Structure 1
């Protein structure tokens, strides 16, 4: 007995069934999908609106909290405590440190000028 390694070719009677046509998307499913998207967008807008109202709803901040030595204390705290723990790229840290030191220097020179003006 001899084995033929070639596969048998299909005979004309072994036709594959016809491919069914793809049905179009049902209008009902499409409308439901659009409604879900709309709800998601509304929820996102409500969330953002709530956060904005909460941020604006706080009482006015007294500017005296940041006047005089208090602002300098805050800047020193940022430089000494917050900046070293900041999880940022080295360039960002250097830029932040430069900005804080410049602001600290500016406030120190303004405080010195005020002191000179107040002394007769």
Structure 2
């Protein structure tokens, strides 16, 4: 057994002050915080509602964008300009060329049939 020769800690009669308990936040502050949160929720809902209303508004969209003439132009552009520059295997390019060509032919046939029916 070993005895430690350190002197004992001095004993004082003075006590350190006790830790004070935390006081709860004032009720008024809690109400203010809740009000700020609810304002944010309302603003977020309004923002989402306006986004939905704008997305459902189709007044600015022209039907010509989805017409067969425009889609044929796009398909031909893809076939003539995009597909040759595509970095893909030759079989994949050939398959894409065949599919796009078939789609173009089918759309032209449909256009001819519509023209015959309307005439």
TM-score range, shorter chain: 0.5 to 0.7
Provide the TM-score with structure 2 as the length reference: 0.54
TM-score w.r.t. length of structure 1: 0.54
For structure 1, list consecutive stretches of 5 or more residues without a partner in the other structure: 1-5, 85-100
Counterparts of 1:34-113 in structure 2, within 5 Å, are: 34-59=34-59, 61-74=61-74, 76=77, 80=82, 105=100, 107-113=103-109
Could you say which structure has the greater relative contact order, defined with CA pairs below 8 angstroms and 6 or more residues apart? 1
Moved over 4 A (4+): 115-119
User: Gaps (5+ residues) in structure 2?
Assistant: 1-5, 87-95
Matched residue count: 93
Deviation at 1:50, TM superposition (A): 1.8
